[in-house]
Structure 1
Amino acid sequence: MASLGWLTPRKRSATARSVLAGEAAAEAARKTSQDISDQAFGGAEFAGPDGDTRTVPAKAVPDEPEFPVTGDHLAAAFFDLDNTVMQGAAIFHFGRGLYKRNFFHKRELARFAWQQAYFRLAGSENPEHMEEARNSALSIVKGHRVCELTRIGEEIYDEYMAERIWPGTRALAQAHLDAGQKVWLVTAAPVETATIIARRLGLTGALGTVAESIGGVYTGKLVGEPLHGPAKAEAVRALATAEGLDLTRCAAYSDSANDIPMLSLVGYPYAVNPDKGLRQHAREHGWRLRDYRTGRKAAKIGIPAAAGLGALAGGAAAAVALQRRRR
């Protein structure tokens, strides 16, 4: 880890947490990617808007024929998950599933729903709200076994997530795979949830938020902090070092201005279904733009049709089902 002595104590602490979270995510990703490779079979599948499942065509490539470069093993692609690969937030959908399974009650749900509403209206995270949500969510899973949450995550993927994959972004990922490159999800969602999604889509693996577990049981503590903003960039940097990648030859895809640190690391940054801040930044810096939304949906992305208590439950899963895979 580089010296952080020039930073103020507060910034130094935050940077150290980001680095720790990134390094933990990279370590977990490399371990779980082998599991995904061992379980892979046939063509990757995704569910369309009408819920049917179809195989991604091999010819689904970006409209830049020279990119990605076939056979360039020093290159890889990094995809944000929420609203980039999947409509809505993974932790939102996962929270719906946990609420359905009585992991928490209406009192907690109301608090998380208010915090999520604040985020949507303000357009940015309130640090105090994020801290409270993280601690509350971790307390919900404290004492639960990792294997239990992983099994539930598989069920929730089928119930809520499979039909929300963006075909356009999925095709971009497939283009990198067809070129012989590795493709990683990079998300603040729990590493177990992210890994399930990556495996179902036939991707290489996932960088996600990692939390501590002892003897296969969650302790209620995170490793570092949620994989968000600068922590994502640290995770990508750590994984690139471990994998021997050249980041100037890599691509990254995201919808959020929060991911500018990650996008700025690579030679091929893409703004996919971008929010206002990222769209402006991308235009100013000549980054590539992709938007798979239509009409007003572009402004309302991520808000499920169901607006009841179950639909709001995702706010309660901000750090749920996390684990530390260090053995």
Structure 2
Amino acid sequence: MPLHARLTREIREGPTGSKIGAFFDLDQTLLAGFSATAFVRERLVTGNMSPRELSTTFYGALSFALGRTGFSALMAATTAAYRGLAESMLEEVGEEVFVKHLARQIYPEARALVQAHQEAGHTVAIISSATRYQAEPLARDMGIEHVLCTELEVRDGVFTGEVIRPTCYGEGKAIAARSLAAREGLDLDESYFYTDSHEDLPLLEAVGRPRPLNPNRQLAQIAKERQWPVRRFSSRGRPGVADIVRTGLTYASLVPSMWAGAAAGLVNGSYREALNVSGAVWGDLATSLAGIDLRVEGEEHLWSHRPAVFIFNHQSALDAILMMKLVRRDVTGVGKMELKRNPIFGPIFSAAGVVFIDRSNSSRAIEALKPAVDALKEGRSLVIAPEGTRSPTPRLGRFKKGAFHMAMQAGVPIVPVVFRNVLDAFPKDATIVRPATIEAVVLPPVETRDWKVETLDEEIAAIRDRYLEILHQP
């Protein structure tokens, strides 16, 4: 049964085909929060926001909030400050804002809904009062083809300071949806619309399947009166007390784990046993306290060939704990040099024999990997992320060759571990761990003894293709 099965059951068991539309609002629906806030903050922090733009944006937003002006007037006032600005600047800001802020605010449940509609062959669209500079990076990441939004006038790559009307707000959303329906042959009576706001009532009434998500007070009342199904997500946004307590216990679990390892090491007179027990106990205790339900497929492959190079797709700081829970003993790792400077984890990982590499210096990085190869030859396994860094989204990054070179040099197999949904629990740069169900698919060991340097790229590509297949990514 797929994750979020109850949430997506209606879609999976309903009609299929491209004539059915699935329209998603952006803010507070796909995202926890407001994309415009992150956009303005980024321009302000980087010094790219002029005093005129700042004052215009502030007073325009205040007038709109007080009901003195409508949305179109708000957009006209704020857009006027863009006159003469190159469109490419906002495109660059939009990409940066998505990576730094918005990617980790996407509701995992919203991702599941979008994916379910895509698998059903529905025509999926983001429909938002935001501009394309806020919406398109997210749409591209989620594989959403259609973006219907408020358009700003551009001539010769430069903003004129004018807004193209009608704006995609209120009745404007219904107009945009009907236009897409006419172009794509959609049946609005069979289509879905997900939104949080009562201001989107015209489009909610235009589709056959209105689906309020995280509705505001007014929309919640309308949904109750009309018996529309309502869903609320709490996996993103402001954490609750339970989330904070759970996170504190997760971090604190390192202490008893180290004491357990120290006791085992003293009793057995073995430093390696101390490391084995500490790592395994921390993996079990931390995931349990964090509310992580780790479901493993292919667990037998974790033990069939040791030592081995265990590789995994790197999404979260939680990955290290998950790998300790899976691999459990006789293992070391490779980490970035910045981790060595961490006052808490740096000394611990150094004591565990983790090899730290300077990613800014490729020649030194290659030299630094020699102790890891020696550890493999001595019988210890190695855990490493071939992407080299965490991704803010589930998209699989490019694989670097270091892990595969080390496996070849030591004559040990590669054991691929594919994580799904780790970002649900702990996205990049997050501080709070959320309860989540995480899946780990352990693939059969891949022998490297017959590999040749000349064909290494093909071998790596074949393994990466298996990841893409399991992650349902193109």
TM-score by length of 1: 0.65
Shift of 1:240: 0.7
C-alpha RMSD of the superposition: 2.7
Q: Do the aligned residues in 2 keep the contact of 1:199 with 1:205 (CA within 8 Å)?
A: no
Looking at structure 1, the residues matched to 44 and 207 of structure 2 have their Cα atoms a distance apart, in angstroms, of 38
Alignment of 1:50-199 (within 5 A): 59-63=3-7, 65-68=9-12, 69=14, 71-105=16-50, 108-109=53-54, 112-113=57-58, 116=61, 125-127=67-69, 131=73, 133-199=74-140
Shift of 1:60: 3.7
Partner residue in 2 for 1:264: 205
1:234 to 156, 161, 175: 175
One-letter code of the match for 2:25? D
Alpha-carbon displacement from aligned partner over 1:129-154 (angstroms, at most 9, x marks no partner): 862x4334212221122223212211
Q: Do the aligned residues in 2 keep the contact of 1:104 with 1:140 (CA within 8 Å)?
A: no
Q: Do the aligned residues in 1 keep the contact of 2:94 with 2:134 (CA within 8 Å)?
A: yes
Local SS of the residue matching 1:78: strand
What are structure 1's unaligned runs of at least 5 residues? 1-56, 299-327
Partner residue in 2 for 1:274: 215
Partner residue in 1 for 2:193: 252
One-letter code of the match for 1:127? T
Looking at structure 1, the residues matched to 51 and 86 of structure 2 have their Cα atoms a distance apart, in angstroms, of 23
Shift of 1:287: 0.8
Local SS of the residue matching 1:219: strand
Alpha-carbon displacement from aligned partner over 1:100-148 (angstroms, at most 9, x marks no partner): 232324565356446546766x5xx4316862x4334212221122223
Q: Do the aligned residues in 1 keep the contact of 2:76 with 2:163 (CA within 8 Å)?
A: no
Alpha-carbon displacement from aligned partner over 1:198-247 (angstroms, at most 9, x marks no partner): 11122222111112111121111111143111101110111111110000
Q: Do the aligned residues in 1 keep the contact of 2:64 with 2:71 (CA within 8 Å)?
A: no
Change (3 A) 1:62 1:264: farther
Looking at structure 2, the residues matched to 128 and 173 of structure 1 have their Cα atoms a distance apart, in angstroms, of 31
Change (3 A) 1:285 1:198: same
Structure of higher CA gyration radius:
2
Looking at structure 2, the residues matched to 152 and 260 of structure 1 have their Cα atoms a distance apart, in angstroms, of 31
Alpha-carbon displacement from aligned partner over 1:64-114 (angstroms, at most 9, x marks no partner): 634353532210200011111101111111111121232324565356446
Farther-moved stretch of structure 1 (191-200 vs 273-282) = 191-200
Looking at structure 1, the residues matched to 216 and 116 of structure 2 have their Cα atoms a distance apart, in angstroms, of 24
Partner residue in 2 for 1:293: 234
Q: Do the aligned residues in 2 keep the contact of 1:71 with 1:181 (CA within 8 Å)?
A: yes
Farther-moved stretch of structure 1 (202-211 vs 81-90) = 202-211
Looking at structure 1, the residues matched to 24 and 57 of structure 2 have their Cα atoms a distance apart, in angstroms, of 26
One-letter code of the match for 1:262? L
Partner residue in 1 for 2:144: 203
Local SS of the residue matching 1:67: helix
Shift of 1:251: 0.3
Looking at structure 1, the residues matched to 71 and 57 of structure 2 have their Cα atoms a distance apart, in angstroms, of 9
What are structure 2's unaligned runs of at least 5 residues? 240-474
1:213 to 154, 157, 171: 154
Q: Do the aligned residues in 2 keep the contact of 1:60 with 1:174 (CA within 8 Å)?
A: no
Local SS of the residue matching 1:104: coil
Instruction: Work out the percentage of aligned pairs sharing the same amino acid.
Output: 31
Change (3 A) 1:224 1:286: same
Looking at structure 1, the residues matched to 209 and 97 of structure 2 have their Cα atoms a distance apart, in angstroms, of 33
Alignment of 1:4-83 (within 5 A): 59-63=3-7, 65-68=9-12, 69=14, 71-83=16-28
Q: Do the aligned residues in 2 keep the contact of 1:87 with 1:164 (CA within 8 Å)?
A: yes
Shift of 1:254: 0.4
Partner residue in 2 for 1:318: none
Change (3 A) 1:200 1:126: farther
Local SS of the residue matching 2:9: coil
Looking at structure 2, the residues matched to 111 and 209 of structure 1 have their Cα atoms a distance apart, in angstroms, of 18
Q: Do the aligned residues in 2 keep the contact of 1:176 with 1:183 (CA within 8 Å)?
A: yes
One-letter code of the match for 2:127? V
Q: Do the aligned residues in 2 keep the contact of 1:58 with 1:174 (CA within 8 Å)?
A: no
Partner residue in 2 for 1:53: none
Looking at structure 1, the residues matched to 22 and 70 of structure 2 have their Cα atoms a distance apart, in angstroms, of 33
Local SS of the residue matching 2:230: strand
